[in-house]
Amino acid sequence: MSLPMHDPALQALSLPLLDPALPLPARPRVLLLRGRAGAGLDALRAARPDLQLTAEQGFRPFAAALEAQGWNTTTSAAGEFDAVLVLPPRQRSEVRGLLVRALEHAADDALIVASAANNEGAGALQTDVERLFGTAHSLSKHKCRVLWLRRGEARVDAALARQWQAEDAPQPIAGGRFLSRPGVFAWDRIDTASALLAARLPADLAGQGADLGAGYGYLSCEVMQRCEQVTSLHLYEAELRALELARLNLQRAAAQLGRAPPALEFRWHDVALGLDAQFDFVVTNPPFHQGRADLPELGQAFVRAAARALRPAGRLLLVANRHLPYEQTLAAHFSSVAVLADEQGFKVIHAREPRP
């Protein structure tokens, strides 16, 4: 999966750490929440080689990029740090949850720093930082806004922190059928495209199957309930935040099935890199954007990964926005391609017999 070449928010984020007026202890422990690799981190490492940085990242491609550049990474940070840096994601409730976590991981005199591009929520970020902490310094650079404060200066609104923590936590949706949370794709509803695919799942799907980009597990739950001959389901998801929900949702659905459920596997994995097993069928509602950038080649990579992982008589069930250019990739990799539905702006495609 392609990663952003230019990341101004990351570049701006390090500025307070390099300011002599904001000293840090020798060999400072720094936590970067929702960390990303890039030139901004490289510059920080060059300027502060004593810095001990841990990047927390649950999105597998970003975590892999950090690992490749030699950064210490984790999916769940622990302990207190001398500085906590926040790179806000898109969903505001998730951002607010991250600000609360920054507070929890900050030592008494720690620096708390957050940065966002001006056209990606910098104003909302400043409002939320000031509401939670009661104070914030700001700097505009690289068309971004950088906000920082000392933990000891903060006048924390404890009630607001508890509220934001609850809003960011897993919560029931769809009448209580699923657990979801902010930051996950279509987190507060059943996605229209996925529901369209679920309604057209062939009842004779059988054997070993995979759900690529499984999200919180909706499609896999539908496969398990509708297709009794399925013996195993492997859920591949690059966002660990979603995969943990899928595990909960599938385990609960399996317990309520009324018959022996298929074996379940949960894989934190970047599907664009290919799969590690062979399957009789694949279902997918592939992502086609990363952050705010449209990436139709990402969905095409899912098609190629599915074709290579399917057995000779294998089947791919895919749903996509009508405008996305998948037909050429499908034709190149499958002997038979049929459109099962074309409505509500989406197309459901059934591809068979992957080409060698």
The CATH number assigned to the domain holding 302 equals 3.40.50.150
Is 186 in the same domain as 332?
yes
Name the pairing type of β-strands 346-354 and 334-343: antiparallel
Quote the strand ranges of the chain, DSSP E: 29-33, 52-56, 72-74, 81-86, 106-117, 137-141, 144-150, 171-173, 178-180, 206-212, 229-237, 263-268, 279-284, 289-290, 293-294, 310-321, 334-343, 346-354
Query: 52-68 pLDDT, tens per residue?
Result: 999 999 999 999 999 99
Is 178 in the same domain as 201?
yes
Is 94 in the same domain as 47?
yes
Is 159 in the same domain as 219?
no
Is 159 in the same domain as 184?
no
Choosing from 168, 192, 212, the residue where a domain stops is 168
Q: What is the pLDDT of residue 64?
A: 97
**Secondary structure letter of residue 239 according to DSSP:** B
Contact yes or no for 126/145 (Cβ under 8 A): yes
Q: What is the DSSP string of 71-106?
A: -EEESS--S-EEEEEE---S-HHHHHHHHHHHHHHE
Which residue range forms the structural domain that includes residue 267?
Answer: 171-354
Contact yes or no for 216/249 (Cβ under 8 A): yes
| pLDDT-wise least confident of 125-134, 205-214, 281-290 | 281-290
Is 316 in the same domain as 335?
yes
Query: 201-254 pLDDT, tens per residue?
Result: 999 999 999 999 999 999 999 999 999 999 999 999 999 999 999 999 999 999
How far is 237 from 267, CA to CA, in rounded Å? 6
Q: What is the pLDDT of residue 324?
A: 84
Please report whether residue 1 resides in a domain.
no
Query: 287-305 pLDDT, tens per residue?
Result: 875 555 567 788 999 999 9
**Secondary structure letter of residue 197 according to DSSP:** H
Please report whether residue 101 resides in a domain.
yes
Please report whether residue 104 resides in a domain.
yes
* Residue length of the chain: 356
Q: How high does pLDDT run on average in the chain?
A: 94
Is 84 in the same domain as 197?
no
Which residues have C-beta within 8 Å of that of residue 1, sequence separation ≥ 6?
A: 61, 238, 270, 272, 273, 290, 298, 301
Please report whether residue 2 resides in a domain.
no
Is 134 in the same domain as 190?
no
Is 141 in the same domain as 214?
no
CA dihedral 168, 172, 173, 175 (to 10 degrees): -160
Q: Which of 315, 267, 283 is nearest to 212 (CA)?
A: 283
E strand or H helix at 200: none
Is 335 in the same domain as 187?
yes
Is 99 in the same domain as 231?
no
Q: Residue 120 corresponds to which amino acid? A: E
Choosing from 153, 168, 183, the residue where a domain stops is 168
Q: Is the pLDDT of residue 179 over 70?
A: yes
Q: Is the pLDDT of residue 72 over 70?
A: yes
How far is 25 from 110, CA to CA, in rounded Å? 10
Average pLDDT over residues 321-336: 92
Q: What is the pLDDT of residue 297?
A: 86
Choosing from 168, 195, 227, the residue where a domain stops is 168
Q: How many domains is the chain built from?
A: 2
How far is 53 from 28, CA to CA, in rounded Å? 8
Is 297 in the same domain as 179?
yes
Please report whether residue 231 resides in a domain.
yes
Which residues have C-beta within 8 Å of that of residue 192, sequence separation ≥ 6?
A: 344, 346
Query: 30-51 pLDDT, tens per residue?
Result: 999 999 999 889 989 999 999 9
Please report whether residue 246 resides in a domain.
yes
Please report whether residue 163 resides in a domain.
yes
- 134 band by pLDDT with thresholds 50, 70 and 90: very high
Distance from CA of residue 345 to its chain's centroid? 24
How far is 329 from 102, CA to CA, in rounded Å? 43
Q: What is the pLDDT of residue 2?
A: 46
Please report whether residue 3 resides in a domain.
no
